[in-house]
């Protein structure tokens, strides 16, 4: 009976009910969108380097990260290749040989990072072939090179130009060779784009005299896969003298930046909930004060206060539940839209983002955990705020008769 009466009460004043429900819907949509936007920023920052360069973790010889020398390179074990290929949750892995060299082109010289890659593996994992802005990707021919966009601009390097790399090879051997620039690549990180030359793995091994050797095996995980579980599973398969280093240790500045955004996200959401709570409380106060005379009359004809309080609580629950469902359903297309068509920055703002190695776009992250969390929180907050209405009923006095 009380439930039926509460439901009918809601629609006796549709305008008041719809205003309350609308405030809850707006609160849920706003909270979900803001959280999804900040989570999308975190993912965008991580993907800018983790998904393109470092991988979620790298298999290295112990000591390589502290001393990035070819002397700490290794010959990959065939069994490890089989183990990685069979592990669940791994999107893929690649082979790399990295070192430094002096780049000479157009009568200019500059120190540069040289990275030897497996073109086919990188194409399927990092999509290097899709990041070519001029020229073409590494082909079958030997002694081809991709040059970072910033480095090409600084040294006036064009597609088809020749460049010479000179450095120190494995075990102190001299390293020198000539290459033809097949393409200009933009990786999205100024640190890489301003300093990198990419060769085929075989060409890099030949250049440094490090035949069949690697400096790292970057491993990339599928979306929503646990990095901790993958690392724990891999460590049991690694031989002594090898380590799997997570990207958080290899990119400490990125880790700190993401931690800062997480802190800002928590502060933003807390402030948002405070504002949302006052908004919902305002509608509840309006609802109660509009019904004071009605509630006094109901009290005067014999309804107990406990039943009236239960009725108010059920009414608030119905409105909160309706607002939560509508808010959940309304937020999904909004968040999905901005994931497919992220906010793009231009001009100085875009240059500032690129200076930190982040593509100047701001996508949202579609995560049903975020949708569910905020919907439930605001549903609970709405019900808790009904305490005000319950208290007003507890101090309510019946209508006095006129003599």
Range of the domain at 168: 63-240
The answer to whether position 6 is within a domain reads yes
Distance of CA 235 to CAs 82, 247, 370, Å?
15, 15, 32
Residue 331: CB atoms within 10 A of its CB come to 22
pLDDT tens digits, one per residue of 8-32: 777 777 887 888 788 888 888 888 8
Are both 316 and 348 inside the same structural domain?
Answer: yes
Residue 62: CB atoms within 10 A of its CB come to 14
Report the range out of 200-209, 255-264, 304-313 with the highest average pLDDT.
Answer: 200-209
Distance, CA of 159 to CA of 149 (rounded, Å)? 11
The answer to whether position 402 is within a domain reads no
Contact 193, 148 (CB under 8 A): yes
Q: What is the pTM of this model?
A: 0.69
Distance, CA of 32 to CA of 23 (rounded, Å)? 14
Average pLDDT for the chain: 84
Distance of CA 99 to CAs 52, 138, 208, Å?
18, 19, 9
Are both 152 and 43 inside the same structural domain?
Answer: no
For the record, the structure tokens of 1 come out as: 């009976």
Distance, CA of 48 to CA of 353 (rounded, Å)? 11
The answer to whether position 400 is within a domain reads no
The answer to whether position 326 is within a domain reads yes
The answer to whether position 378 is within a domain reads yes
pLDDT for res 403: 47
% of the chain at pLDDT higher than 70: 96
% of the chain at pLDDT higher than 90: 24
Using the structure block, give the residue that is written with the tokens 């400490």: 252
The answer to whether position 56 is within a domain reads no
pLDDT greater than 80 at residue 359: no
Distance, CA of 312 to CA of 305 (rounded, Å)? 10
Contact 360, 345 (CB under 8 A): yes
Q: Which residues contact 371 (CB under 8 A, 6 or more apart)?
A: 32, 328, 331, 332, 335
CA 10 to chain CA centroid, Å, is 41
Are both 34 and 68 inside the same structural domain?
Answer: no
For the record, the structure tokens of 377 come out as: 């929180």
Q: How many Å from the N-terminal Cα to the C-terminal Cα in the chain?
A: 35
Are both 82 and 27 inside the same structural domain?
Answer: no
The residue among 32, 25, 29 whose CA lies nearest residue 283 is 25
Please list, residue by residue across 100-111, b when 16 or more beta carbons sit within 10 angstroms of its beta carbon and e when fewer do.
ebebbbeeeeee
Are both 125 and 167 inside the same structural domain?
Answer: yes
Distance, CA of 172 to CA of 25 (rounded, Å)? 67
Among 240, 273, 305, identify where a domain stops: 240
Are both 34 and 135 inside the same structural domain?
Answer: no
Are both 280 and 342 inside the same structural domain?
Answer: yes
Are both 192 and 274 inside the same structural domain?
Answer: no
pLDDT tens digits, one per residue of 360-396: 778 888 888 888 888 888 888 888 888 887 887 777 7
For the record, the structure tokens of 181 come out as: 């620039």
For the record, the structure tokens of 239 come out as: 């031989």
Distance of CA 356 to CAs 39, 55, 236, Å?
18, 18, 36
Strand partners, 117: 96, 200
Mean per-residue pLDDT, 353-360: 65
H or E element that contains 45:
helix 14-49
The answer to whether position 35 is within a domain reads yes
Contact 254, 358 (CB under 8 A): no
| Domain count within the chain | 2
Contact 246, 57 (CB under 8 A): yes
Distance, CA of 375 to CA of 369 (rounded, Å)? 10
Are both 143 and 36 inside the same structural domain?
Answer: no
Are both 134 and 212 inside the same structural domain?
Answer: yes
Length of the chain: 403
The answer to whether position 403 is within a domain reads no
pLDDT greater than 90 at residue 157: yes
Among 240, 263, 290, identify where a domain stops: 240
For the record, the structure tokens of 85 come out as: 């290929």
**According to DSSP H, which parts of 135-197 are helical?**
149-154, 190-193
Distance, CA of 186 to CA of 226 (rounded, Å)? 29
Are both 28 and 104 inside the same structural domain?
Answer: no
Helix (H, G, I), strand (E, B) or coil at 142: coil
Among 185, 205, 240, identify where a domain stops: 240
H or E element that contains 90:
strand 90-93
For the record, the structure tokens of 205 come out as: 């091994």
pLDDT greater than 80 at residue 355: no
pLDDT greater than 90 at residue 176: yes
Q: For residue 357, name the pLDDT band (cuts at 50, 70, 90).
A: low
pLDDT greater than 70 at residue 258: yes
Residue 223: CB atoms within 10 A of its CB come to 7
pLDDT greater than 70 at residue 249: yes
Are both 132 and 200 inside the same structural domain?
Answer: yes
């Amino acid at each position: 009976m009380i439930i039926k009466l509460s439901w009918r009460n809601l629609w006796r004043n549709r305008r008041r009910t719809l205003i309350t429900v609308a405030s809850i819907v707006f609160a849920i949509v706003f909270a979900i969108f803001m959280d999804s936007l900040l989570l999308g920023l975190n993912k965008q920052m991580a993907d800018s380097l983790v998904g393109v360069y470092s991988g979620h973790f790298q298999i290295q010889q112990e000591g390589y990260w502290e001393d990035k020398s070819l002397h700490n390179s290794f010959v990959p074990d065939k069994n490890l290749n089989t183990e990685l290929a069979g592990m669940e949750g791994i999107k893929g892995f690649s082979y790399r040989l990295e070192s430094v060299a002096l780049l000479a082109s157009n009568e200019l010289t500059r120190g540069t990072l040289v990275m030897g890659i497996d073109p086919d593996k990188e194409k399927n994992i990092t999509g290097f072939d899709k990041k070519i802005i001029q020229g073409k990707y590494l082909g079958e021919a030997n002694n081809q090179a991709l040059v970072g966009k910033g480095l090409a601009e600084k040294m006036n390097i064009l597609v088809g130009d020749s460049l010479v790399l000179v450095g120190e090879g494995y075990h102190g051997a001299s390293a020198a060779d000539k290459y033809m620039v097949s393409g200009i690549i933009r990786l999205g990180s100024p640190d890489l784009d301003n300093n990198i030359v990419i060769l085929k793995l075989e060409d890099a091994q030949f250049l440094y005299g490090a035949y069949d050797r690697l400096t790292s095996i970057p491993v990339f995980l599928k979306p929503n896969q646990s990095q901790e579980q993958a690392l724990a599973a891999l460590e049991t398969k690694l031989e002594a003298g090898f380590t799997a280093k997570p990207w958080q240790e290899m990119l400490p500045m990125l880790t700190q930046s993401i931690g800062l955004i997480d802190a800002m996200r928590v502060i933003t959401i807390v402030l948002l909930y405070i504002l949302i709570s006052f908004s919902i409380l305002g509608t509840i106060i309006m609802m109660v004060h509009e019904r004071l005379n009605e509630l006094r009359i109901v009290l005067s004809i014999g309804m107990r206060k406990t039943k009236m309080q239960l009725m108010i609580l059920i009414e608030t629950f119905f409105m909160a539940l309706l607002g939560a469902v509508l808010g959940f359903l309304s937020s999904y297309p909004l968040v999905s839209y901005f994931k497919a068509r992220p906010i793009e920055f231009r001009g100085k703002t875009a240059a500032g983002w690129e200076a930190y190695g982040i593509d100047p776009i701001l996508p949202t992250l579609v995560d049903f955990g975020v949708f569910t969390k905020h919907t439930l929180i605001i549903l609970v907050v709405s019900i808790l705020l009904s305490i005000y209405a319950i208290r007003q009923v507890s101090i309510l006095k019946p209508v006095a008769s006129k003599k």
